[in-house]
Amino acid sequence: MRQITSKRTVDPMEQVRPRRAAIATASASDTALAGGPQKPKSSVRRRLSNEDQKLLNHIMSSEQDFIDSPAFYEPDAFQKIYSEAPDIQKPDTTWYHPVMDDLSTARNRTVKSAQQVILTGAEEKVLFHQFNFARYCIWKVQQEVWSTPSRQPTPEQESEILRWFRLADRVREQIAETNLALVLAMAKRTRMSEVDFADLVSEGNMALLRAVDKFDAGRGYKFSTYACRAILKAFSRQGMKLSKYRQRFPTDFDPKLERSNFLEVKRDSFEKDAAEEVKRIVLENRCDLTDVERTVIEHRFGLESGELEKPMTLEQVGQIIGVTKERVRQIQNKAMEKIKLQLEAHFLGNKEALEAQEAAIEAKLAEAVGAS
């Protein structure tokens, strides 16, 4: 890769100055592409807009770099690079919105063949020659401006710089959009779960643009060969940057701080509230427990005993009330069913459970009346 700086030993301005004069007087149909750079027909100074003035100041703030090529110094280089170049199909990028798509959709998304534009080596060489020749012309005008005492461009030079810059930007955008699929392909192959997919795609797009600026088509390689390696290096730098951030701020990635215990705290609180409600139901006898059922529940679960005393077994409770431990189990299950209905009715707000409890009480009363 060769980049032209102000330290060139051979001044290209002396070689192309006669040709530039000829280009300035040529007609637009013979010397430029449709919409390409054209010399202004009037010498009257036109005031630049604020945006154009900011853009011009940005361009003139640093020396324009470009990839040199012998084709730039050939006779009629402008006509050969632009006018005589074949038309190259522009890509359709309506399919490219990976961050907006759902992950499931993005993984299964396939680009239609009608949307794909695969450039040959010759077509890539044409585009990169057009891109770098436009940057080369900006560099030439910069050298002319900086060689004057005022170091300020004339109106014609301002217009020429802006026209060449916009042409270079259009060609650069076309090259990048044609190779956008490379970024997605590399991002899906990269196993970096700690890096967000959107950040990975963004870093890959920036690396693609840098690769366009640095690629030398004159060496005979395909741009995808150079761009894929540049994108993978950008992914690697992103991973190293994230790793250094973790080392500098380890607390941000502490697993104990990342994992929330909200569910455990909520569950413990709910169980504690439910146990207190069950205790009140039994002590206040809100579920119409018989004396035997209440005695079994209190002794089995230690409702009236201290915290240091253990609940009694089925056999121990049976010895107190004078029944077998199997009978104690039956009494306990019946009492627990009554407590469950009361708990669901009042603590959980279950209307169906409340109606079932009321129906059970009415059936019990009717049974008692019938027995009497």
Q: Judge contact between 139 and 64, C-beta under 8 A.
A: yes
| Cα–Cα distance for residue pair 50/26, rounded to 1 Å | 30
- Strand, coil or helix: 3: strand
pLDDT score at 176: 92
Integer Cα distance of 360 and 197 in angstroms: 60
If asked whether residues 327 and 236 sit together in one domain, one would say no
Picking from 124, 174, 144, the residue whose alpha carbon sits closest to that of residue 64 is: 144
pLDDT-derived band of residue 15, with 50, 70 and 90 as boundaries?
very low
Residue 358 lies inside a defined structural domain of this protein: yes
Domain identity same for 167 and 190? no
Q: Is residue 313 part of a domain?
A: yes
Residues spanned by the domain of 227: 179-259
In this structure, the answer to whether residues 153 and 19 fall within a common structural domain is: yes
- pLDDT per residue as tens digits for the range 216-233: 988 888 999 999 999 999
CATH code at 232? 1.20.120.1810
Give the C-alpha separation, 321 to 312, whole Å. Answer: 13
Non-local (6+) Cβ contacts of 313 within 8 A are: 325
The CATH number covering residue 323 comes to 1.10.10.10
Q: What is the pLDDT of residue 273?
A: 80
- Which helix (H) or strand (E) is 327 found in, with range? helix 325-342
Q: Same domain for 171 and 200? A: no
Query: What band does 237 get if pLDDT is binned at 50, 70 and 90?
Result: confident
- Tell me what pLDDT residue 347 has: 55
* pLDDT number for residue 45: 56
Do 16 and 144 belong together in one domain? yes
Q: Which of 15, 53, 20, 18 is nearest to 141 (CA)?
A: 20
Specify the pLDDT at position 362: 67
Mean pLDDT over the full length of the chain: 76
Is 129:217 a contact under the CB 8 Å cutoff?
A: yes
Q: Could you tell me if 109 and 2 lie in one domain?
A: yes
Residue 44 lies in a domain: no
**Type of residue at 1:** M
* Residue 196 reports pLDDT greater than 60: yes
Say what the alpha-carbon torsion angle 184, 190, 196, 202 is, to the nearest 10 degrees.
-40
Q: Are residues 309 and 172 in the same domain?
A: no
Are 291 and 362 in the same domain? yes
- SS3 assignment, position 96: coil
| Domain contains 251 | yes
* CA gap 245, 272 in Å, rounded: 42
In one-letter notation, the amino acid at residue 182 is: L
Least confident of 69-78, 125-134, 259-268, 331-340: 259-268
Domain assignment of residue 39, yes or no: no
Q: Are residues 27 and 145 located together in one domain of the fold?
A: yes
Q: Looking at 124, 148, 178, which one is the last position of a domain?
A: 178
**Total tally of structural domains belonging to the chain:** 3
Q: What are phi and psi of 130, to 5 degrees?
A: -65, -40
Asked if residue 261 has pLDDT above 50, the reply is yes
Checking if the pLDDT of 65 tops 60, the result is yes
Q: Which range scores top for mean pLDDT: 34-48, 304-318, 327-341?
A: 327-341
Whether pLDDT at 43 is above 50:
no
Do 69 and 109 belong to one domain?
yes
Shared-domain flag, residues 233 and 333: no
Residue 14, pLDDT score: 45
Structural domain includes residue 347: yes
- Name the more confident of 119 and 31: 119
Give the H/E segment covering residue 108.
helix 103-108
Domain end, chosen from 259, 284, 302, is at: 259
Confidence of residue 115 (pLDDT cuts 50, 70, 90): low
Domain membership of residue 4 (yes or no) is yes
**65 and 4 Cβ atoms separated by less than 8 Å:** yes
pLDDT confidence bin for 135, thresholds 50/70/90: very high
Same domain, 132 and 223: no
pLDDT at 37 over 60: no
d(CA 138, CA 29): 22
295: in domain: yes
Indicate if the pLDDT at residue 355 is higher than 90.
Answer: no
Q: Select from 119, 148, 178 the last residue of a domain.
A: 178
Distance of alpha carbon 294 from the chain centroid: 62
242 versus 143: the higher-pLDDT residue is: 143
pLDDT reported for residue 98: 64
